[in-house]
Amino acid sequence: MRWKITDRVVKFYEFGYGPLNRLLSGNYGEERLQNPTDIAPVADMNNYYQMSASYDAVGNIKSIIRRGMAPDAGCFIPQEIDRLTLVYDTLSNRLFRVGDLAPTPYRPYGFKPGASPSAEYVHDNNGNLTFDPHKGLNM
């Protein structure tokens, strides 16, 4: 996916998919000329925004790792903002809990838990989500 805003550089996301067409990664980049005399731009994968995901045997997302811009020593630099672990109920295969093990100072820039890490998602008998503890939503 590529885009450009007015006279600025072309920006893009590259996506990686596994053999079962599951999203495994997404990386942000910008096209830049290395030298003023260059004709063709070079892809700069600057590590500003990246994500990777893993799945269990039945296709549930097991983990998501995201990097994003976070303040550090007075400026914004790429940091790990999410290291999410998703846990599913073994009988119903429904999302049960989400935990985040990202470094503490950078967690506020990623997943925003609104409840304790042990908070559980609630579903009705048909599998519909009825309560999201992190958003405080009753559906």
Q: Give how many domains the chain has, as a whole number.
A: 1
> How far is residue 66 from each of residues 16, 54, 71, 78, 122, measured CA to CA in Å?
14, 12, 15, 10, 26
Residue 134 lies inside a defined structural domain of this protein = no
- Residues in a beta bridge with 131: 122, 138
Domain with 8 in it: 2-88+98-111
Provide CB contacts within 8 A for 103, sequence distance 6+.
Answer: 79, 80
Residue 75 lies inside a defined structural domain of this protein = yes
pLDDT of residue 11: 85
Q: How confident is the model at residue 36 (pLDDT cuts 50, 70, 90)?
A: low
Residue 130 lies inside a defined structural domain of this protein = no
Give the model confidence (pLDDT) of 3-30 as tens digits: 888 767 888 889 999 999 999 999 988 8
List the structure tokens of 69.
């811009």
Residue 19 lies inside a defined structural domain of this protein = yes
Residue 129 lies inside a defined structural domain of this protein = no
Give the model confidence (pLDDT) of 112-137 as tens digits: 877 776 778 889 999 899 988 888 88
Residue 58 lies inside a defined structural domain of this protein = yes
- Distance, in Å, from the CA atom of 78 to the CA atom of 67, rounded to the nearest integer, reads 6
Residue 105 lies inside a defined structural domain of this protein = yes
Residue 93 lies inside a defined structural domain of this protein = no
Alpha carbon distance, N-terminus to C-terminus of the chain:
34
pTM of the model: 0.80
